[in-house]
Amino acid sequence: MIIKSLMSKLFVCYCLLFGLIISKASAQNSMPVYEIKADTASSAVIPNEYLQRLDDTSGRLTINDVNTTYTDSRFFQVTGKEAITKAVNSYWLRFSIKNTLTRPVKMMMYSNSGMVEYYMQQPDGKWQKQINGRDVAYNKTDGFKRYQAVYFEIQPGQEALFYKHYLFDDFVLSRLAGKSHFAVAIGYYEPFVKRHFIANDEMLENEGDVLLFGFMALAGIMTLIFYILIKDKLYLYFSIAAFMFGFISQNVSYDLFFHNHPVLSRYLGVKLLQAVFIFC
């Protein structure tokens, strides 16, 4: 009788545990699904009601860790009022998207952050990973590099689970602390190409910065020659300030010199701006 009683209790425990696992899985599966009903917009934002967030305090979670029933309860609904703290520099968003159209949808996702990892679950359960962001080296960036957008394709009727992993550095955290910065900005391929490459060729958007850099570099060289001839330190200071002022633009320093080192480019621009005020 005792053994039978123990077996009954164990059976009840197993049933409860199985029910808990099923409930967790169903909770994830019952996550609201964002439906694509048109693909004519070059940019749009998925509403917060479709997004769930997890704060990775350890900074060590992987896609296999967050996509489990164990971490499922740590996700919470995004409202737009959540704060970013300096103590956490790793955040995960998850959301589901369904293509309700009768044709494949070529969808863009914008990074809007320093470094973002995107994961799209394929029909066979594997993950398609892409990385993008303004702090990612150019040669390691996926998708449309200059526009900080990655590219996914969803087949007709397909429903796909996505994860968006934010990685903030200390510089960005100090600026964003206390503010909500979590959103999923998307667009569609054909309107995106028409907007950026046909209607407006934005590859020339930094032309003014390059001309300014050239002008200030020329002014710096001329005043440096005057310093060599006259030996007046005022010309030397002006020459240094001219070079630094021309180099301040992040577009110039990034595009011309530090293509694969965007973080260095940003920090260097800040330090040079401070130096300009000192020398001026």
Which residue would you say has higher pLDDT here, 241 or 166? 166
Q: Which amino acid is residue 252, in one-letter code?
A: V
Residue 245 region, left (φ>0) first, then alpha (ψ -120 to 50), else beta?
alpha
Provide the pLDDT for residue 160. 95
Q: Which amino acid is residue 218, in one-letter code?
A: L
Q: State mean pLDDT over 25-37.
A: 71
Is the pLDDT at 269 greater than 70, yes or no?
no
What does the pLDDT look like over 103-151, one tens digit per residue? 999 999 988 777 899 999 999 999 999 999 888 888 889 988 878 889 8
Q: State mean pLDDT over 28-40.
A: 82
- Mean pLDDT is lowest, of 1-5, 123-127, 144-148, 168-172, for 1-5
Is the pLDDT at 265 greater than 70, yes or no?
no
CB 51 within 8 A of CB 92: no
**By percentage, how much of the chain surpasses pLDDT 90?**
28
CB 252 within 8 A of CB 209: yes
CB 166 within 8 A of CB 106: no
- Mean pLDDT is lowest, of 34-38, 156-160, 194-198, 232-236, for 194-198
Give the helix/strand (H/E) hosting 154.
strand 149-154
